[in-house]
């Protein structure tokens, strides 16, 4: 029988309550503490979960209640100092995306987790969704043929951030999915964007990732679009997938469509035959909450001593891409080689040394 793991969640604002709800529902989790600087917020959550202790002191959470694991759902600027403190205290640590503000911080957390023998996991929730798991299954089966490119759009009106740009806010979801599907590291990146609302903080960006084998991925993000769009198109040599996460029923559609260049042709009509249009298939998806699957996976990894699907190395690779996107933005969209790139923090990030951990 799996051990009941004593868990605490720090950060009870936008996303933290969803983590609290899911961890509390799992049979092998003992949710012992909720931590936040806002006493009114804690008081509200106590009315929903009266058996869970609330605290405004992160130090008390780490050292005063005997936790096995800590869940960090605070602003990105606090991810590194809080995760570092958690790991050094011997706690298994789950960090919401993005993992940290720089690849150097990610590397330090990975090293500490290894030395402490602790599970370090990053919250790339979409990789645990039935839709992405099904896409991965279809790609691995070879049904799409060779992947040629992936195009992702993640757009909405707000929520505007002040410490990170829209690429750091929205692109991590799609970058994580793309890396998961491609099973390769990107070799270079171009990124262009504009800041319309907050000077110096881009609210519209377009990112181009180049992969080995002439494969690529395009990611368009915006806080200024009138509609909520969560769409990804995966173009293969045999078939294509359109993944629409906003769709309530048909999240995945597989198109039996492709373009084949004929070996020779004499007329335009003959050239048209190279376009193949077949049926559209809608795979069945089991209805499961991705966040619940992700939380359970974290507990399973602790109990089994396993490496998470979204471990620190996955989080690091994503941050390397985001850093390169910031560098490319500053260079007006010039290509940045990911193997030769110098580390550049995200625009708008405060230095970790300037953050007062006691304030959290």
Task: Please state the pTM of the whole predicted model.
Answer: 0.87
**In the prediction, which pLDDT does 359 show?**
35
Contact 136/108 with Cβ under 8 angstroms?
no
Please give the average per-residue pLDDT across 322-335, as a whole number: 96
- Hey, do 5-124+290-309+352-359 and 127-288+323-337 end up sharing a CATH topology, with the first three levels equal? no
For residue 104 the two structure tokens come to: 């150097």
**Which of 65, 69, 62, 20 has its CA nearest to residue 302?**
69
**Peptide bond connecting 151 to the previous residue in cis, omega within 30 degrees of 0:** no
Choose the weakest-confidence range: 99-108, 179-188, 334-343, 348-357. 348-357
pLDDT digits (tens, 9 = 90+) for 130-165: 999 999 999 999 999 999 999 999 999 988 888 889
**In the prediction, which pLDDT does 258 show?**
66
Q: What is the C-alpha separation between 121 and 294, in angstroms, rounded?
A: 10
Architecture of domain 127-288+323-337: 2-Layer Sandwich (3.30)
Residue 82's contacts (CB-CB under 8 Å, 6 or more residues apart) are 10, 58, 70, 72, 74, 357, 360
Q: What is the C-alpha separation between 97 and 358, in angstroms, rounded?
A: 22
CATH code reported for the domain at 5-124+290-309+352-359: 3.40.50.720
**In the prediction, which pLDDT does 161 show?**
84
Please give the average per-residue pLDDT across 91-111, as a whole number: 96
pLDDT digits (tens, 9 = 90+) for 235-285: 999 999 999 999 988 999 999 876 666 666 666 555 555 555 668 899 999
Contact 137/241 with Cβ under 8 angstroms?
no
**In the prediction, which pLDDT does 277 show?**
66
The Cα-based distances of 126 to 16, 173, 176, 243 in angstroms read 17, 7, 8, 12
Contact 140/132 with Cβ under 8 angstroms?
no
pLDDT digits (tens, 9 = 90+) for 193-232: 999 999 999 999 999 999 999 999 999 999 999 999 999 9
**In the prediction, which pLDDT does 272 show?**
56
Q: What is the C-alpha separation between 212 and 188, in angstroms, rounded?
A: 10
For residue 36 the two structure tokens come to: 């936040």
Q: What is the C-alpha separation between 313 and 311, in angstroms, rounded?
A: 6
| Sequence-ordered alpha helix ranges (H) in the chain | 16-25, 39-48, 58-63, 76-88, 103-116, 130-141, 166-182, 268-272, 290-304, 312-330
Structural domain spans, the chain:
5-124+290-309+352-359, 127-288+323-337
Q: How buried is residue 248: exposed, middle or buried, by Cβ count under 10 Å (0-12/13-18/19+)?
A: exposed
**In the prediction, which pLDDT does 355 show?**
34
């Amino acid at each position: 029988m799996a051990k009941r793991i004593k868990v605490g969640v720090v950060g009870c604002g936008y996303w933290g309550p969803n983590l609290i709800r899911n961890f509390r529902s799992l049979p092998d989790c003992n949710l012992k503490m909720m931590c936040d600087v806002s006493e009114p917020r804690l008081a509200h959550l106590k009315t929903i979960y009266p058996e869970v202790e609330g605290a405004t002191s992160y130090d008390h959470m780490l050292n005063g209640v005997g936790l096995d694991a800590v869940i960090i759902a605070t602003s990105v600027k606090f991810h590194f100092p809080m995760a570092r403190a958690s790991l050094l205290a011997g706690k298994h640590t789950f960090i919401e995306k993005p993992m940290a503000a720089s690849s150097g911080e990610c590397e330090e957390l990975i090293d500490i987790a290894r030395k402490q023998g602790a599970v370090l996991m990053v919250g790339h929730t979409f990789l645990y969704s039935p839709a992405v798991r099904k896409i991965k299954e279809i790609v691995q089966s070879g049904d799409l043929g060779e992947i040629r490119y992936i195009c992702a759009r993640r757009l909405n009106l707000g929520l505007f951030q002040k410490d990170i740009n829209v690429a750091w806010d929205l692109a991590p979801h799609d970058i994580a999915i793309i890396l998961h599907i491609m099973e390769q590291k990107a070799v270079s990146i171009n990124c262009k964007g504009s800041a319309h609302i907050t000077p110096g903080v881009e609210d519209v960006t377009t990112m181009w990732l180049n992969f080995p084998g002439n494969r690529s991925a395009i990611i368009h993000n915006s806080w200024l679009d009138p509609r909520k769009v969560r769409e990804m198109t995966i173009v293969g040599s045999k078939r294509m997938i359109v993944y629409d996460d906003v769709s309530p029923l048909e999240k995945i559609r597989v198109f039996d469509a492709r373009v084949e260049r004929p070996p020779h042709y004499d007329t335009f009509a003959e050239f048209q035959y190279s376009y193949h249009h077949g049926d559209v298939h809608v795979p069945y998806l089991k209805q499961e909450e991705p966040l619940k699957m992700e939380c359970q996976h974290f507990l399973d990894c602790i109990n089994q001593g396993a490496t998470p699907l979204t471990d620190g190395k996955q989080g690091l690779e994503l941050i390397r891409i985001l850093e390169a996107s910031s560098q490319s933005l500053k260079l007006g969209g010039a290509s940045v080689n990911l193997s030769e790139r110098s580390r550049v923090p995200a625009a708008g990030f405060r230095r970790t040394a300037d953050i007062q951990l006691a304030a959290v």
